[in-house]
Amino acid sequence: MAPSSSAARAAQKFFSVRRTEAPRLPSSSPPPRKYRSMSDIMRTAKYSVIERDDYSQIICDQCGSGERDDELLLCDKCDRGFHMLCLRPIVIRVPIGSWYCPSCSDHRPVKRFPQTKIIDFFRIQKCTNKAERCISPQDARRRRRRSATLVLHKKRRRLLPYTPTEDPARRLEQMGSLASALTALHMEFSDDLTYFPDMAPRSANQAKFEDGGMQILSKEDTETLEHCRAMYKRGECPSSFSCF
């Protein structure tokens, strides 16, 4: 009886060792794949500069023109060309060293300034009289009188007030472009003469330091200057657009 019991225990041990877990069936739907944008891939991808034999066929990636080749900048990563004036922000001089286009650089794109914050950014004072004109009839007659006597008094040219943009939507667009450019460069708007600590002090702003003397504003020019500043405080800015 002993051999039979030992054989039964050996068989039970053998079957317990050979017992395995049943394989799991593959799921019907594969796990979702995460995709990355081409801009993210280009930022992290390793690159190598491949010299071309001929760069005469390079065109601007923005305007599609190959003219003004002396103003074309070649990206050191993607080897695409861009005109200095077609870039945003505009490149005013040829960069020293390596240069990367906006798609290959690590700089974040400039966010447009919201129009709801333009009034607070420029500290615009709301005008109660909507029918108020930017230039009074007296100023218009004064301008016509000045233009008639301009030939006789060439050395007595006076300041003229600017003509603001009449379309309110266009005016907000222009001021929004300026606000976007200032915030992107971490600059604050100021309509007053500002003296920075590392620049020339206020004591250097004297007439005796000017070559040939400093011309003093006349009463009429002072009124024109104050009139322009008053228009700017009301949000009646001159026609301009900051390309950024």
Give the pLDDT score at 64: 87
pLDDT tens string 24-79: 666 666 667 777 787 777 777 776 655 555 667 788 988 888 888 888 898 888 88
What domains can be seen in the chain, in order of their start residue?
53-109 (3.30.40.10), 115-149+156-200+218-233 (no CATH)
Positions of the chain with pLDDT under 50: 1, 130-132, 134, 137-138, 148-154
pLDDT of residue 20: 60
pLDDT of residue 5: 62
Which of 44, 26, 27 shows the shortest CA–CA distance to 36? 44
